[in-house]
Amino acid sequence: MNEYKVVDGWEIIPKGLVSENIKDITSRDGDDGKEQDRLVDILEDLLTYAPDEISYYFSEDHNGREGFMDSDEFYKIWGTVEGLRTVYDSSLLNCVPDTGYNIVETGYAKWDEETKSRDVYVALSMNGCSLASALTEYYKFTLTFDFDLQTYKLLPI
């Protein structure tokens, strides 16, 4: 049995595991790995400023397990995510990859003035097809900023 590190109902994983999971789940066949590479590049960009460990939730694996949120509780939280945007949707491409369509979305929680931080959320839906929806993995991490008065820029801490 796997040992999980769980915080607030989310599994804590190394950031580098995200790219490994994409490579395990999406095929390199058919398009010479272009779709797999595209997903890895997008997620690595989105996680650039994330800490070395991030939060991960996958209802197919975590729902009903001790310490994890149940799906209903998770989707209530997901419903509060602000600024949710689709940053990639391969179903809109002319040539859908052999593994099916893939979608990447990102959003954020409200700014916390006291801690000068904000939670960032990323949803990765992979391998959907016309007869089955894509299963979605969710990631969360916290960015803390300090304001540089001389350059008027938010700086990640």
Domain positions in the chain: 6-156
Torsion of the alpha carbons at 27, 122, 60 and 75, rounded to the nearest 10: -150
- The neighbouring-strand residues paired with 106 are 85, 122
pLDDT given at position 111: 85
CB atoms within 10 A of CB 38: 19
Q: In whole angstroms, what is the distance from residue 29 CA to residue 84 CA? A: 31
Give residue 89's identity as a one-letter amino acid code: D
Range in 22-31, 66-75, 83-92, 137-146 with the lowest mean pLDDT: 22-31
Q: Which residues of 140-150 are buried (b: 16+ CB within 10 A; e: fewer)?
A: bbebebeeeee
pLDDT given at position 64: 83
Q: How confident is the model at residue 147 (pLDDT cuts 50, 70, 90)?
A: low
Measured in whole angstroms, how far is the alpha carbon of residue 9 from the centre of its chain?
15
pLDDT given at position 149: 45
Q: In whole angstroms, what is the distance from residue 128 CA to residue 134 CA? A: 4
pLDDT given at position 1: 41
Average per-residue pLDDT in the chain? Answer: 86
Q: DSSP assignment, residue 92?
A: G
- The neighbouring-strand residues paired with 141 are 120
Contact yes or no for 125/99 (Cβ under 8 A) = no
Q: Please check the confidence at residue 100 and state whether its pLDDT lies above 90.
A: no
Q: In whole angstroms, what is the distance from residue 49 CA to residue 119 CA? A: 12
Q: Please check the confidence at residue 67 and state whether its pLDDT lies above 80.
A: yes
Range in 36-45, 98-107, 109-118, 139-148 with the lowest mean pLDDT: 139-148
Q: In whole angstroms, what is the distance from residue 24 CA to residue 49 CA? A: 24
**5 vs 145, higher pLDDT:** 5
